[in-house]
A = this chain, B = another copy of it.
Amino acid sequence: MIDLHGQQFIGSQASAESSDTFQGFNPATSKALPTLFHEATEGEIDKALQLAASAFDEFRRTTPEQRAIFLDTLADEVEALGDQLLDQANAETGLPIPRCTGERGRATNQARQFAELLRDGSWVDARIDLPNPDREPLPKPDVRSMMLPVGPVVVFGASNFPIAISVLGADVVSSFAAGCPVVVKAHPAHPGTCELSSQAVLSAIKKCGLPEGTFSLIHGRSYETGLSLVRHPATQAVAFTGSLAGGRALADAAAARPNPIPVYAEMGSANPIFLLPGALKERASQIGSDYIQSVTLGVGQFCTCPGLVFGIESEDLNTFTASAAEGAQNSPLATMLHPGIYESFWKGVNAIEALDGFSLAGQSTDKAEVNKNHAACTIFETTSSALSDNPQLYDEVFGPVSTITKCQSTSELEQFASQLDGSLTATIHGTEEDLAEYAGLIHILETKVGRLIFNGYPTGIEVCHAMHHGGPYPAASHSHFTSIGTRCIYRFVRPVCYQGWPQAALPPELQDSNPLGIFRLLDGDFTQSPA
């Protein structure tokens, strides 16, 4: 068992310069947890980033194999924390132990997946254009390029994934894979989970002989702590998962720096579902009950929770709605992550309920217990005209609440699709015939979202090479980049080009002989052959 100390980690050193402290909180009991966590001072933030900057020169020049071993070791060290990590996450978030166990599996798989990516090596986008000294009118130079790390990265973890999108998340392990030191801002809703996770990271750093400053952890509840991390001159990129307001504030601060840096913020979305007639005819009731499973997964506290459903008015749509309503009524109440989210959820639900033209289709019938921060799965029903009058509904209400809109026509479906803000996902339930008939709708959605799901659900994201977890603003701050899946490493690298460089001084990835056997773009063709 590790005793929590509630301090920053400046590299491997615990530090508590401030006596301003806060505590974790168990939302399932409404009781504060014992450890006092110390707010970071400006001096501690500066030390962490100075140390990261000084670690960068050595860390970025580790070999891919060294970083792969580090990530494998990190995964092992996370597992070595045993149940303490799960118990801590459970206590701080109310998420059940099986869910925490699942998250841990995702985190360790993710770290090992990046180790595999590094061993494969082709991700660096190595390009070689061979010289031609005889070209007229000018000789063609030898030009080669590959991705290299950008420098220290600041990561803000998410409240809703205390293990898999926090200190041990893809933002951190992809930064490490790229060769970037990381300073994590611990989420104040699970500071103990962050501290324990950091122990695993620091232990792996020590075992692998990596430089002090490869990782630091900073605690703080205040807005200013986050802004100071983003504004620090050593910070070269920022990753954030959380609310639109939070992500935008960091992005604005980064854009206003003397030298602006990118903030890769994933800020959630409404994740609309479109129910097409063929699918409703075949299985309206089944879609209704599966939809409720998706809405309630993780107590609806997923960035991909489907908040809006659109279908054309019909008996089949009524069957879907009745099935969803029944599913909602039978859903158990569940504890939300913290009182702030709980209050926002109920405020959002009550606001929708008060709207003209919106009716409650179904809601958990369980009786909420005191001090458990319980959310009830809540499904509303409305008409296209009532939704049109309330565009604020396009914004996400975080939690297990969703609204079914009855449209009158295909063109109304298309109109709503056009009016949507950028979204992480859109889901279509349909037959293949539906897809052909509703091609116009699909074409609109392709320009609005990062991921299109057919006859499935947006929650339960697969961590793989082809995954894209991002989308047009406000789903993400930069639609070119993903925060989940191996492609997320590209946030933390930039191309560096070597012109006329001697073989011996080139990185192995760019040497003629291709010693790592990676795929390269050689004079415009992909090949593993030597140059």
Contacts and interface: CB of A to CB of B under 8 A. Distances in A.
Contacts of A494: 450, 470, 472, 479-480
Nearest to A504: B432
A144 B56 CA distance: 34
A480 B504 contact: no
Interface in A481-531: 482, 486-487, 490-491, 493-502, 504-505, 519, 521, 523-526
A466 B57 contact: no
Interface in A338-365: none
Interface in A52-95: 56-57, 60-61
B446 A505 contact: no
A259 B525 CA distance: 37
A501 B452 contact: yes
A140 B502 contact: no
A245 interface: no
A456 B499 contact: yes
A468 B497 contact: yes
Given A480-B490, A499-B454, A474 B259 contact: yes
A412 interface: no
Contacts of A443: 57, 61
Contacts of A61: 443
Nearest to A520: B466
Contacts of A60: 447
Interface of A, secondary structure class, is mixed
A140 B456 CA distance: 12
Nearest to A261: B473
A498 to B, nearest CB: 5
A499 B469 CA distance: 12
A127 interface: yes
B496 A259 contact: no
Interface in A450-468: 450-456, 460, 462, 464-468
A336 to B, nearest CB: 24
A497 B143 contact: no
A252 interface: yes
A210 B256 CA distance: 40
A120 interface: yes
A259 B248 CA distance: 10
Contacts of A144: 466
A517 to B, nearest CB: 12
Contacts of A145: 466-468, 487
Contacts of A521: 465-466
B453 A500 contact: yes
Given A143-B462, A505-B432, A497 B451 contact: yes
A465 B262 CA distance: 25
Contacts of A151: 447
A261 B505 CA distance: 38
Contacts of A143: 462, 464, 466-467
B141 A498 contact: no
A332 interface: no
A479 B150 contact: yes
With most chain B CB atoms within 10 A of its CB, the pick from A260, A480, A500 is A480
Interface in A4-48: none
Contact of A259 (B141, B262, B422, B432): B422
Contacts of A128: 466
Given A482-B495, A493-B480, A519 B524 contact: no
A160 interface: no
Contacts of A455: 500
Contacts of A107: none
Given A143-B462, A505-B435, A498 B452 contact: yes
A116 interface: yes
List 10 A-B pairs, minimum CB-CB distance, nearest first: A127-B466, A255-B255, A468-B497, A451-B497, A479-B494, A129-B464, A468-B495, A259-B473, A143-B466, A453-B499
19 contacts: A129-B465, A150-B479, A251-B260, A259-B473, A260-B473, A262-B478, A432-B502, A432-B504, A432-B505, A435-B502, A446-B496, A452-B498, A452-B501, A456-B499, A465-B523, A466-B497, A468-B495, A472-B494, A480-B495
Given A455-B500, A468-B495, A480-B494, 11 more contacts: A61-B443, A150-B479, A252-B256, A259-B422, A259-B473, A432-B504, A435-B504, A450-B495, A454-B499, A468-B497, A479-B494
